[in-house]
Amino acid sequence: MQDKPGVLNRVAGLFRRRNFNIDSLVVGRSETPGISRMTFVVDGNARDVFQVQTQLDKLINITKIENVTDKPAIFRELALVKVAAGSANRHEVIQMAELHGAEIVDVTIDEMVVQMVAKPARVQSLIENLEHFGITEMVSTGVVALERAQRRVVGEPAPVAAQLNGSK
């Protein structure tokens, strides 16, 4: 989408009018100056999702829509979890973080902040395990997604594709 004021509000309004709940919403810069990438997760059947895509395509400032649900894609989420971790259980929290591939990014006398970037299911697993120790605060980015790179056989010519910047 074009990086213009009000675009996020129009997209959110479209979801509200269609009575869709947005489970996750992330907006950030893309590789193209002036273009932001919005990634959202909604729960709906194929017909509902297609309907939303069609409506999104009609909005001004939307440059491209891609549903990566059934495509080979990479899905990641970032979570920062502040956990009660005094001297009695600090070592256990560290072990739990290490088992999940997370890292400790801040430590105080009675709390630790655990950071994890992973597939959403792995992040959720870490959160569930840290609940045992007492989560005092938590924030997550929501899911971001990127379609996997096309794999080509070495020596095979690259496909030719043209894309007009800002076109649908």
Domains of the chain: 7-67 (3.30.70.260), 74-147 (3.30.70.1150)
What tokens does 73 get? 């894609």
Query: Which position has the higher pLDDT, 167 or 158?
Result: 158
How much is the pLDDT for 20? 84
Query: Which position has the higher pLDDT, 88 or 45?
Result: 88
Query: What letter represents residue 145's amino acid?
Result: A
Query: Which position has the higher pLDDT, 125 or 15?
Result: 125
- Percent over 70 (pLDDT), the chain: 89
Which whole number is the average pLDDT over 47-70? 88
Q: Is the pLDDT of residue 162 over 60?
A: no
Query: Which position has the higher pLDDT, 59 or 102?
Result: 102
In this structure, the chain runs to a length of 168
Q: Shortest CA distance to 76 belongs to which of 121, 44, 113?
A: 121
- Percent over 90 (pLDDT), the chain: 61
**103-124 per-residue burial string, b: 16 or more CB within 10 A, e: under 16:** ebeeeeeebbbbebebebebbe
- What is the residue-averaged pLDDT of the chain? 88
Helix (H) or strand (E) holding 117: strand 111-118
Contact 145, 24 (CB under 8 A): no
How much is the pLDDT for 152? 62
Contact 113, 104 (CB under 8 A): yes
Rg (the chain; Cα; Å): 20
Q: Is the pLDDT of residue 2 over 90?
A: yes
Distance in angstroms (rounded) separating the CA atoms of residues 72 and 26: 20
Q: Is the pLDDT of residue 13 over 50?
A: yes
